[in-house]
Amino acid sequence: MASLLFGGRLAVRSVNRHVQLRHSAVRWNSSISQRPGSATVRFPGAVDSKFTSEMAFSRPSSSPAMPTYRVMDSDGVIVDKKHEPTDVSTEEIITWYKNMLTVNIMDVIMFEAQRQGRLSFYMVSAGEEGIAVGSASALEDHDVVFCQYRESGVFQQRGFTMKQFMAQLFANRHDSGQGRNMPVHYGLEYPRIFTISSPLATQLPQAAGAAYAMKIQALQNPNNPAGVVACYFGEGAASEGDFHAALNMAATRSCPIVFICRNNGFAISTPTLEQYRGDGIASRGIGYGIDTIRVDGNDIFAVREATKEARRMALENGGRPILIEAMSYRVSHHSTSDDSFTYRARVEVEDWKRRDNPIIRLRKWLESKGAWNEELEQQARTDLRAAILKEFNAAEREKKPALKEMFNDVYESLTEEQEMQREALRKHLEKYPDEYNINDHEHGIKGL
Ligand SMILES: Cc1ncc(C[n+]2csc(CCOP(=O)(O)OP(=O)(O)O)c2C)c(N)n1
Ligand SMILES: [Mg+2]
């Protein structure tokens, strides 16, 4: 990746050397030979490990669970007044609130639309809007983002328009992916969010690689504002080998990346109790030598503050990875293809809905400041719903992408095999014209 970005292996080698030199102190220290009589051992693989004559296995059960950082309690009250948000205006906080609300209302409409057969698939992020919007609010436009699939709030906060959401969901001709991806697999060119891909955890090593490239870019262009990569994933995805490869690569190469894990208690039907026995995903960050924090994902202020600080730390001294584990509960079914009441009790879900929710929490805080009330709430809901439905109706009526788009963008130009496939498709469509809605596509058969 680096050589593609920086035009030549030589340039990359010299930059790599530069990067290595900056970290050489740490590496060379580890190879210093043992001092006679020293109480600590200097194995190359475990520096400063004390000798002990007490044989004791380290037991996870005797270490307390990592605490969960929180700024605001479930009644919307700031727990410690010194964490009262002061760096942003109430107006801006209201935009976060409306962004969470937008995603929440869109989710209800689109879930229902899928049930009516108007789109093929959908995934909601109910209960996790605070993690997405809060963390994205702490990022800069020149940062680069990799998502899983349950982070619509990140897209909303980074300026993805309702028209763009709907174009992708209905796979119409305005979709930047030209209808080639499943619904909810959005992508945004700038502020950049790499297009979502279904195979779990693939975004993690890609994100670590992108962060390494950004580190080298920062060395080459020190006058440009330095950026980080933010990489989102679910706790289930952290069971993939790619998660471990990505964290280790980011740690050993000191890449400026903030890993943001949404721990929502489930990987489809598998509860966390059956996914792992350690202390969540946070404990794994420590294992890889990565500074880590666990936060309350229903508390948008805590998520934002932690991400802001993580971003600052990730850029310190040339770069390093940080891990945030944001705790929440997946209130919804996994997707429109899932019925979660076959593997969890309805009462458990209802309990969570009633007990805690990032939107209600922020609403309580805004109301306590006199910045929100029932009337504003009803107005906002009516306006947002109308704006979503307007784009919904327009997108559903739009033409689908031209048929030729199915072959484009795989290679720079069509290969001989692709030409043959296109001709075979043309013949097939001409033979069975009544079997396909060809005219739903831009320019009909001429668009092939
Ligand atoms: C490599 C791979 N294996 C399995 C799947 C099927 N799958 C899709 S989502 C999912 C669960 C992921 O859970 P988590 O990462 O916790 O995200 P959440 O859905 O809870 O937001 C699984 C197993 C997949 N998409 N890719
Ligand atoms: Mg999960």
Number of domains present in the structure of the chain: 2
Give the pair of three-digit tokens for residue 384.
């947002």
Q: Are 303 and 428 in a shared domain?
A: no
Mean predicted lDDT score pLDDT of the chain: 92
User: 282 with 293: CB under 8 angstroms?
Assistant: yes
Cα separation of 386 and 380, whole Å?
A: 10
Q: Are 100 and 129 in contact (CB under 8 A)?
A: yes
> Is residue 441 domain-shared with residue 413, that is, in the same domain?
yes
Residues 219 and 242 in one domain: yes
Shared domain check, 186 and 257: yes
- Positive or negative torsion for Cα 99, 102, 107, 108: positive
In a domain, 37, yes or no: no
Same domain, 439 and 355: no
Do 316 and 427 belong together in one domain? no
CATH number for 140: 3.40.50.970
Q: Residue 26: what pLDDT?
A: 46
Nearest in space to 219 (alpha carbons), one of 434, 16, 58: 16
**46-75 average pLDDT score:** 93
Contact (CB, 8 A) for 203 and 168: no
Q: Which of 285, 238, 224 is nearest to 257 (CA)?
A: 285
What is the reported pLDDT for 30?
A: 46
Element (H, E) at 273: helix 272-275
Q: Is residue 71 part of a domain?
A: yes
pLDDT digits over 151-181, tens only?
999 999 999 999 999 999 999 999 999 999 9
**Both 132 and 155 in a single domain?**
yes
DSSP code at position 298: T
Looking at 356, 380, 397, the residue that finishes a domain is 397
Is 112 among the residues known to form the active site? yes
The finding on whether 258 has its CB within 6 A of some atom of ligand 1 is no
Instruction: Identify whether residues 78 and 188 lie together within a single domain.
Output: yes
The residue that leads in pLDDT, 20 or 426, is 426
CA of 275 to the centre of ligand 2 (A): 10
Options 24, 30, 92, 112, the catalytic residue: 112
- Among the listed residues 198, 334, 325, 173, the one whose alpha carbon sits nearest the alpha carbon of residue 269: 334
Same domain, yes or no: 129 and 109: yes
CB atoms within 10 A of CB 300: 30
Residue 38 lies in a domain: no
Tell me how far apart the alpha carbons of residues 176 and 195 are, in angstroms, rounded to a whole number: 10
Whether residues 382 and 423 fall in one domain: no
Q: What pTM did the predictor assign? A: 0.93
Look at residue 14 and tell me if it is in a domain. Answer: no
Instruction: Assess if residue 371 is contained within a domain.
Output: yes
Mean pLDDT across 242-257: 98
Same domain, 421 and 350: no
Which domain, by its residues, includes 389?
A: 64-397
Which of 135, 334, 340, 405 is flagged as catalytic? Answer: 334
Same domain, yes or no, for 313 and 438?
A: no
Kindly state whether residue 24 falls inside one of the protein's structural domains: no
CA distance 337 to 123: 9
Ligand 1 atom at shortest distance from the alpha carbon of 335: 19
Residue 265, domain member (yes or no): yes
Q: Is residue 336, in this structure, part of any structural domain at all?
A: yes
- Ligand 2: centre distance to CA 330 (Å): 7
